[in-house]
Amino acid sequence: MKSQYILEKDAELPDLKELGFGKWASPYMYVRRYRNGAWEAPIIHEYDLFALDPAAQALHYGQLIFEGMKAYYNKDLGKIFTFRPEENAKRYQRSAQRLVMPELPVPDFLASVFEAVRLARRWIPPFSEANPIEASLYIRPFLMGTSPKLGVKPSDDYAHAVITSPSGPYFRSGFTPIRLKVETEYVRAVRGGTGEAKCAGNYASSLLAAKRAEAEGFSQVLWLDGVDRRYIEEVGAMNVFVLMNGTLMTPSLTGSILPGITRSSILTMGEALGVPVAETNIDIHELLAGIENGTVTEMFGSGTAAVVTPVGLLGYQGKEYAINGGHVGELTSTIYKTLVRIQYGLEQPAYAKDWCIEIKDA
Ligand SMILES: *Cc1c(COP(=O)(O)O)cnc(C)c1O
């Protein structure tokens, strides 16, 4: 079975309920090569295989970074938006720096993303207030080392590409609480490593733990820090938040956590909503004790793909801890709804006035 379907150029958007996440590919791609120390002109072509030297650096030593973004089509307004795309552009540069790759200038990154969205305009799932299904065009920019290098060295040449995928909710269950396994054997990242870069290797190394957790009936794992195995870090592709004693807390960015744009937006939003917020160390034992004695009332994950995903249960060394009786919390719900309304251009609070960027025709 194919796991991905490439849309025909004249195809209609598949039924919204059939979309799934990352299952469909729009039929065009945007490619920009870096050769002889300079960025070449972009090329747009049909979605196709990449011709790579079998010794390409990215294939052997993983010089490959990516971003995850979405285009939101508000059908009532007839407008297409993206959410804080400059933040993705800057993170792409930081990830590139960490892996000794050339940095794509911010305006060039934005131009590539906007162009990829225009090419896929026909397949951006529509959102309307009458039928508010959370669907969007998922955008995947990536940059890889393409030079043949069997010695471990940075590549000379690179390819930046953008592909897009009309997508529905990340978790099939939609906005319902997920079960997370607190991972005590494997770690995702350590300080000084590449945890704060959005690079391919971080995800390959997470697959085994995720597979085991799934076999045990969990959606994903909640990673602990790599040194003390005591402080919570994040989930597969989401940062995490905990409402404890009325304070909205998230692990501080210590170097091993991916600095999520959704995370930083929710911190700003929480403050604006009058909720005390804190970036701090969250000890797993205090968290579990708080769940048991009722001081931890809500927990959720945040990310572009998963938006806001409520966490209903933590499994730790064979024991299960249900949060808020496994129900979605009130603040989680408010943050989710507010974020979605901002992303689809329905609301523009003062703190978010430059978050939602319209993609206009070129
Ligand atoms: C992409 C990602 C996130 C979320 O980042 P956003 O900018 O909010 O999409 C969180 N954790 C990991 C590991 C990620 O890869």
Inter-CA distances, 18 with 1, 21, 64, 132, 163, Å = 16, 9, 30, 16, 20
The single-letter DSSP state of residue 328 is P
Q: Which atom of ligand 1 is nearest to the CA of 67?
A: 1
pLDDT band at 234 (very low <50, low <70, confident <90, very high): very high
pLDDT at 1: 42
CA of residue 238 to ligand 1 center, whole Å: 5
CA of residue 237 to ligand 1 center, whole Å: 5
Instruction: Provide mean pLDDT across the span 257-280.
Output: 98
Q: Are 56 and 189 in contact (CB under 8 A)?
A: no
pLDDT at 171: 77
Q: What distance in Å separates the CA atoms of residue 271 and residue 331, rounded to the nearest whole number?
A: 12
Which CATH number describes the domain made up of 16-167?
3.30.470.10
Per-residue pLDDT reduced to its tens digit, 119-131:
999 999 999 988 7
Domains in the chain: boundaries:
16-167, 178-343
Q: What distance in Å separates the CA atoms of residue 164 and residue 29, rounded to the nearest whole number?
A: 8
Instruction: Provide mean pLDDT across the span 194-216.
Output: 97
Alpha helices in 18-72 (DSSP H): 57-61
Instruction: Provide mean pLDDT across the span 29-43.
Output: 98
132 or 71, greater pLDDT: 71
Q: What distance in Å separates the CA atoms of residue 117 and residue 136, rounded to the nearest whole number?
A: 11
Q: Are 175 and 310 in contact (CB under 8 A)?
A: yes
pLDDT at 2: 56
- Give ligand 1 pocket residues (Cβ under 6 A): 68, 198, 234, 237-239, 258, 260-263, 302-304
pLDDT at 246: 97
Exposure letters 193-215 (e unless 16+ CB within 10 A, then b): bbbbbbbbbbeeebeebbeebee
Say if domain 178-343 classifies as CATH 3.20.10.10: yes
Pocket test for ligand 1, best of 304, 308, 309, 340 (most atoms within 8 A of CB): 304
Q: What is the mean pLDDT of the chain?
A: 95
